[in-house]
């Protein structure tokens, strides 16, 4: 067996509620775990140090098996919105206990402790364990879900090739860690930019995990497209369905109005303004993130967290009949004719088991296909730029026109 190289063990602290009836006092009250020297145990504090038996209570006896969820960039703004959604049961359900494993850096370790304190103070019944650390080989151990948010933002004057290399190194390392210690059926959602190519790097460094289990977040783009269609049609969001984002999470992304529906009718039957659909709608969705940065002074955080929650829920709950959702997935074997061996956003359906199938009942016209091929070309160029991180030889960067929005998530 190949020997796994593990970096030095780094700071790890644990905030935990464990299930251990043997440590109960005779009257059934919960007892605190005795303090130990920091060097000999995983540190814990507050209510999460309490030991009690979930099976002893009627309310918790029927709960599902604990799900382990790792979140990188856990001290960041996106995570600050997301973690409380996860802990509340909003994402995985009200009968699903959860363990949160939070990955940060040495610089953010104190902030991670603050995050754990806020989670503690929120008194979420479903939150059974919180761990914080800076070593992915520790934090990713046995995780069922890995939400990879942490990445370096693109700074002023930074070339796109440099961003690909810097963040690519992060996701290569995290892929190796997931490969070594995570559940072999772990589901991985990559949020850190450029998320499509980072997801490709991650899966190439995790050969023990099915490539199909890796996703790049394009749900925020889908949500933005639904908003614009609803606004133009004068309806609420829930009337809009079958919206697909094709391609890269960049300004080459393709918001698909050909297959989208409003109140069950094709969008083009409801919105007759073809010029608006082809030009203003498409451009508004593609550039929404950049406009938000100009208005807000920073990239989207709350809406990104909502879209991460939506992306997970789309995989753990059955897709409504006839509908689909967008997610960036591995293209090998796709039915559309899109280049293989890249991560490309496409329409998917799920039975609610964490898996998915590509939707095949989609229409294609020249306008849509031409734009899909443009996004495909961008992703193929990005792939060549990170060949040294995917085991495919020397990198060669010949990127098309610059489409990545500075600081965009």
Catalytic residues: 249
What kind and span of H or E run contains 276?
none
Residue 326 host element (H or E): strand 325-330
- Rounded to whole angstroms, the Cα distance separating 377 from 206 reads 25
Residue 244 · residue 346 · CB < 8 Å: yes
CB 255 within 8 A of CB 243: yes
Cα–Cα distance for residue pair 147/139, rounded to 1 Å: 12
CA angle, 295 then 298 then 302, to 5°: 95
9: which 2 tokens? 């063990």
Q: Which SS3 state, helix, strand or coil, does residue 383 take?
A: helix
Q: Using alpha carbons, select from 317, 180, 329 the residue that is nearest to residue 247.
A: 329
Backbone angles phi, psi at 30, to 5 degrees: -75, 145
How many residues in the chain?
A: 409
Largest CA distance in the chain: 74
Cα(6)–Cα(14) distance, integer angstroms: 20
Q: 3-class SS at 38?
A: helix
Prior bond of 194 cis (ω within 30°): yes
- Classify 216 as helix, strand or coil: strand
Helix axes 366-385, 195-204, angle to 10 degrees: 50
User: CB–CB of 138/12 below 8 Å?
Assistant: yes
Tell me the two tokens of residue 398: 């010949």
Which residue in 215, 293, 284 sits closest to 251, CA to CA? 284
């Amino acid at each position: 067996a190949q020997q796994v190289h593990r970096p030095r063990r780094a700071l790890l602290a644990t905030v935990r509620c464990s299930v251990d009836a043997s440590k109960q006092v005779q009257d059934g009250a919960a007892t605190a775990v005795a303090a130990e020297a920091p060097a000999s145990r995983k540190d814990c504090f507050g209510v999460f140090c309490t030991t009690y038996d979930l099976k002893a209570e009627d309310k918790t006896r029927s709960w599902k098996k604990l799900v382990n969820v790792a979140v990188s960039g856990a001290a960041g703004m996106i995570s600050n919105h997301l973690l409380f959604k996860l802990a509340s049961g909003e994402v995985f359900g009200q009968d699903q206990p959860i363990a949160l494993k939070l990955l940060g850096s040495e610089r953010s370790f104190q902030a991670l402790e603050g995050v754990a304190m806020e989670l503690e103070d929120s008194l979420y019944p479903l939150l059974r364990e919180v761990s914080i650390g800076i070593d992915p080989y520790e934090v990713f151990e046995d995780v069922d879900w890995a939400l990879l948010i942490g990445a370096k933002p693109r700074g002023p004057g930074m070339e796109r090739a440099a961003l690909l290399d810097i963040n690519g190194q992060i996701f290569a390392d995290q892929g190796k860690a997931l490969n070594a210690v995570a559940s072999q059926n772990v589901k991985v959602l990559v949020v850190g930019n450029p998320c499509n190519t980072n997801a490709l790097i991650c899966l190439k460094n995790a050969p023990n995990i099915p490539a199909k289990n890796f996703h790049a977040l394009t749900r925020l783009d889908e949500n933005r497209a639904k908003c614009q269609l609803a606004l133009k049609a004068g309806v609420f969001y829930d009337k809009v369905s079958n919206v697909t984002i094709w391609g890269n999470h960049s300004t080459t992304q393709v918001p698909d109005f050909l297959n989208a529906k409003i109140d069950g009718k094709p969008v083009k039957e409801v919105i007759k303004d073809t010029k608006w659909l082809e030009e203003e709608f498409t451009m508004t969705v593609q550039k929404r993130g950049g406009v938000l940065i100009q208005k807000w002074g920073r990239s989207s955080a709350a809406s990104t967290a909502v879209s991460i929650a939506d992306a997970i829920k789309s995989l753990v709950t059955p897709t409504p009949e006839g509908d689909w959702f967008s997610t960036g997935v591995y293209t090998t074997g796709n039915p559309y004719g899109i280049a293989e061996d890249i991560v490309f956003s496409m329409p998917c359906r799920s039975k609610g088991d964490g898996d998915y199938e590509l939707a095949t009942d989609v229409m294609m016209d020249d306008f849509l296909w031409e734009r899909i091929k443009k996004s495909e070309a961008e992703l193929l160029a990005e792939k060549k730029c990170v060949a040294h991180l995917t085991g495919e030889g020397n990198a060669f960067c010949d990127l098309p026109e610059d489409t990545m929005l500075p600081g965009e998530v």
